[in-house]
A and B are shown apart, each in its own frame.
Chain A
Amino acid sequence: VREVARRQLSSLFSLQALIRKLFFAPALILIVFFVIFPILQTFYISFFSPSGEFVGLNNYVYVLGQKEIVNVEDVPRGLSQPYGLGALLHNMIWISIHLPLSLFSGLILALILRRVKGASIIKSVVFLGMVTPMIVGGIILRFTFDKNVGIVNGLLRLLGLEYLTRSWMAYPESTLFALIFGSVWLWTGFSMIVYSAGLTTIPEEYYEAAKIDGASPFQMFFRITLPLLKPMTITVVTMTLLWELKIFDIVYAGAGASGGPGGAANVLALQMWNWAFQAFRFNRAATVATILTALTLAVTIWMTRYMVKR
């Protein structure tokens, strides 16, 4: 027994074992320095006051009570009150509109394009939004919603809705929605590509068999297509949720560094940056970052648990 233990010990410190550890060393060093340590540090300072006192959850209570984050004082006035509804609620509004819209448009496009000539060209066009730098995406949205040069107002004028025309990014009640609908345009390519890839994995025989059994196209869609696309749906939902929570560039470029007029389109990531690098309130910013990370981790854990179950 002692002989076996000795051999194990020596192999652990053998040259080969050492070289094998070197495979991980560069990656480990970079990750520890620039990812793990900063994450822990941010988490840590979110429990301290600027002067270095431990304050427990006080920062969290304080931050969640700030109008920049949650503003429910005058809900009927909604986004047109100063700070809008607060960054946290803006992120939630973003999710509740953008997630279903981009998911379904991507799915519908993927389904339609199976029977279209030149589908790969159309796919490339729709996917262009995913390749565009989001900072440019934000500028394009501002342009598209501009009062004079933008096509949105051009179309409204064409439809005789002259009274609706305006620079959408300049008014608190419309900035957030213009950004959200614009970001559907930018992001739909993602769900389209994932669903398209998913559709090619469904064997044609399933549909033929269903047709012989007299199934209607709707039955085939809900009984065959949709259930078999479930892993793709999970992927799209997860990635889209993470994207919506982390949203930053589009708001910065489209609405401005302070989150649009009166902060009406402010989001968590942007508020974190403003507190950290404009106001130099690091503890407050760290608290926002930790809240944001808690949300993204919840999404990821939900996904991995689903994937493991499968």
Chain B
Amino acid sequence: MKVKKSTVMINILAWSIALLWTFPFLGVLMTSIRPYREVLFGWWDFTEFHPSLSNYVEAWNHPHVPLGMGIRNSFLVAIPSTLIPLFVAALAAYGFARFSLPIKNYIFTVIVLMMSVPQQMVAVPLFQILNRFGLVDNYIGLILVHSAWGLAWIILFMRNFFLTLPVEVEEAAKVDGASDFEIFYKIVLPMSFPALASVAVLQFMWVWNDFFLALIVIQGTENLLATQRIPLMRGEFFVDWSVLSAASILVMMVPVLVYALLQKYYIRGMIGWTLKG
């Protein structure tokens, strides 16, 4: 079969764009595996090429802000900050989807509006509240804040999902004498696995990638999260791009891996979140 000329052209065009698109990432990756003196005049300069992982080791054990510690801390925050809002929001979303409430529509508008509020709008009072309860520089404080901030969109997302589930199964269980809560966690939650997975993937990435809330709540050098350590690794006058790029790769590796492995759920969450929201 003869392939059309325009099809060939479009394929070439698309792949050149893709190649161009990777350049910034490629540059950081190349720099991260080479000594800084080799890339002084560009990472595409291959007159000398001695790849090694020593920059990664150096970033991991950085003298002032070791990234290994930051990555551990980020996991300590991101995992509970994903699971807590997941269940709290699913519970509320189920209520919104199934129970009749007099002020339901009104609350719903509030939730949609809440999703657009920037974090700067809560920063100062949040700091003061956490300070009063001794939760500044404490992961519990940050986890609670992340959980609360995730709730709005997760409730909206999960409610839309619950509305697509058939009510008949739940009604049958009710006839058999199951309580609302039993129906929720024995019947509805297991059926909701795909939606819960989408939510978990998106929420985990947002918490992992967050910088602003961490910047406000976490201050002790030891406690800093991974994203907070990145700007601190950039010197004021001299930038050691090798170590900095290795650190960047390490921090972005986690969400990239999550995305690569769970892409189906991520995209579904993204589309559902934006188009139905």
Pair A33/B99 contact, Cβ less than 8 Å: no
Contacts of B49 in A (CB 8 A): none
- Nearest Cβ in chain B — how far from A157, in angstroms? 9
Chain B interfacial residues counted at CB < 8 A: 88
Pair B270/A140 contact, Cβ less than 8 Å: no
Given A115-B10, A116-B10, A132-B256, are A297 and B125 also a contact pair (CB < 8 Å)?
no
Docked CA distance A20–B94 (Å): 10
Pair B40/A148 contact, Cβ less than 8 Å: yes
Contacts of A88 in B (CB 8 A): none
Asked if B147 is an interface residue, CB under 8 A from chain A, the answer is: yes
Kindly report which residue of chain B lies nearest to residue A154, judged by CB atoms. Answer: B42
- Nearest Cβ in chain A — how far from B80, in angstroms? 13
Given A117-B11, A125-B18, are A249 and B212 also a contact pair (CB < 8 Å)?
yes
Pair A112/B13 contact, Cβ less than 8 Å: yes
Kindly report which residue of chain B lies nearest to residue A15, judged by CB atoms. Answer: B179
- Nearest Cβ in chain A — how far from B219, in angstroms? 10
Which of A47-55, A72-80, A240-248 lies at the interface? Answer: A240-248
Partner of B211, one of A232, A252, A304: A252
Asked if A161 is an interface residue, CB under 8 A from chain B, the answer is: no
Given A38-B125, A292-B121, are A27 and B89 also a contact pair (CB < 8 Å)?
yes
- Nearest Cβ in chain B — how far from A23, in angstroms? 4
Pair B18/A121 contact, Cβ less than 8 Å: yes
Interface string of B83-110 (1 = CB under 8 A from A): 0010011011011000100000000010
Contacts of A148 in B (CB 8 A): 40-42
Asked if B140 is an interface residue, CB under 8 A from chain A, the answer is: no
Kindly report which residue of chain B lies nearest to residue A155, judged by CB atoms. Answer: B23
Asked if B1 is an interface residue, CB under 8 A from chain A, the answer is: no
Kindly report which residue of chain A lies nearest to residue B181, judged by CB atoms. Answer: A19
Asked if A39 is an interface residue, CB under 8 A from chain B, the answer is: yes
Which of A59-67, A204-212, A282-290 lies at the interface? Answer: A282-290
Contacts of B234 in A (CB 8 A): 139, 142, 253
Asked if A81 is an interface residue, CB under 8 A from chain B, the answer is: no
Docked CA distance A299–B252 (Å): 30
Asked if B129 is an interface residue, CB under 8 A from chain A, the answer is: yes
The 10 nearest A-B residue pairs measured at CB: A34-B148, A38-B122, A23-B95, A38-B125, A27-B92, A133-B209, A41-B125, A300-B116, A30-B148, A122-B18
Chain B contact residues, CB within 8 Å of chain A: 7, 10-11, 13-15, 17-18, 21-25, 27-28, 31, 39-44, 85, 88-89, 91-92, 94-95, 99, 109, 112-127, 129, 144-145, 147-149, 151-152, 155, 179-181, 184, 205, 208-209, 211-212, 215-216, 227, 230-231, 234, 239, 241, 244-245, 248, 251-252, 255-256, 259-260, 263, 267, 270-271, 274-275
Known A-B contacts: A143-B24, A296-B116. Give 10 more (CB < 8 A): A31-B152, A39-B122, A135-B227, A140-B27, A143-B245, A151-B42, A193-B270, A242-B116, A272-B120, A297-B117
> What are 23 A-to-B residue pairs whose CB atoms are below 8 Å?
A19-B179, A26-B88, A30-B85, A34-B122, A37-B129, A38-B129, A39-B117, A112-B10, A116-B10, A116-B11, A125-B22, A135-B227, A140-B24, A143-B24, A149-B31, A151-B44, A194-B274, A197-B275, A257-B231, A272-B120, A293-B120, A293-B121, A300-B113
